[in-house]
Amino acid sequence: MSVWVVLPLLVPMLGAALGWAAWRSTRAQALVGVVASSVHVFAAVGLLVAVGRHDVLVAPVGGWAPPIGIVLTADRLGAIMVLLTAVLGWTSTLTAIAEIGPRQRRAGFFPLMQILVLGVSGSFLTGDLFNLFVFFEVMLMASFVLLALGGERGALEGAVKYVGLNLFSSALFLVGAGLAYAATGTLNFADLHAKLPAVAATDPTAVTVLGAFLLLAFAVKAGVFPLYFWLPASYHTTSPAVSAIFAGLLTKVGVYALIRLTTILAPASAALIDGLLVVAAATMLFGVLGAVAQTNTRRILGFHILSQIGYMVVGIGLLASPDPTVRQLGMAATVFYLAHHILVKTNLYLVAGTALRLLGEERLKHAGGLAKRAPWLAAIFLVPAFSLAGLPPLSGFWAKLAVLRSGAAADAWIAVTAAALAGVLTLVSMLKIWNEVFWKDLPASTPPGARLSTAELWLRGAPMVLLAVATLAIGLWPAPLYDFAQQAAAQLLDPSSTVDAVLGPTQGAR
Which residues are near other proteins by CB under 8 A?
A: 68, 130, 133-134, 137, 140-141, 144-145, 148, 151-154, 156-161, 163-164, 167-168, 170-172, 174-175, 177-179, 181-182, 233-234, 236-237, 296
What span, in angstroms and rounded, lies between the C-alpha atoms of 496 and 485?
Answer: 18
Q: Indicate the burial class of 267 (C-beta count within 10 angstroms; 0-12, 13-18, 19 or more).
A: middle
Q: Which residues, 6 or more positions from 361, have their beta carbon under 8 angstroms from its beta carbon? A: 367, 446, 449
Query: Toward other proteins, which CB reaches closer, 83 or 179?
Result: 179
Q: How far is the CB of 360 from other proteins (least distance, A)?
A: 17
Query: Toward other proteins, which CB reaches closer, 127 or 369?
Result: 127
Q: How far is the CB of 155 from other proteins (least distance, A)?
A: 9
Q: How far is the CB of 358 from other proteins (least distance, A)?
A: 22
133 sits in which H/E element: helix 129-148
Query: Toward other proteins, which CB reaches closer, 157 or 456?
Result: 157
Tell me, letter by letter, the H, E, C secondary structure of 351-365: HHHHHHHHHCCCEHH
Query: Toward other proteins, which CB reaches closer, 141 or 431?
Result: 141
Query: Toward other proteins, which CB reaches closer, 212 or 421?
Result: 212
Beta bridge partners of 72: 59, 126
CA distances from 173 to 43, 117, 129, 162, 192 (A): 30, 21, 9, 16, 16
Omega within 30 of 0 (cis) for the link into 67: yes
Query: Toward other proteins, which CB reaches closer, 296 or 487?
Result: 296
Within 223-294, residue ranges assigned H as helices are 230-234, 240-245, 251-265, 276-293
Q: How far is the CB of 117 from other proteins (least distance, A)?
A: 19
Q: How far is the CB of 507 from other proteins (least distance, A)?
A: 16
Query: Toward other proteins, which CB reaches closer, 17 or 175?
Result: 175
Angle of CA points 391, 85, 68, to nearest 5°: 130
Q: How far is the CB of 171 from other proteins (least distance, A)?
A: 4
What span, in angstroms and rounded, lies between the C-alpha atoms of 99 and 115?
Answer: 19
Query: Toward other proteins, which CB reaches closer, 3 or 68?
Result: 68
Q: Indicate the burial class of 405 (C-beta count within 10 angstroms; 0-12, 13-18, 19 or more).
A: middle
Q: How far is the CB of 101 from other proteins (least distance, A)?
A: 17
Question: Taken in order 400, 406, 409, 415, is the CA torsion positive or negative?
Answer: negative
Report yes or no: 265 and 272 within 8 Å, Cβ to Cβ: yes
Q: How far is the CB of 469 from other proteins (least distance, A)?
A: 34
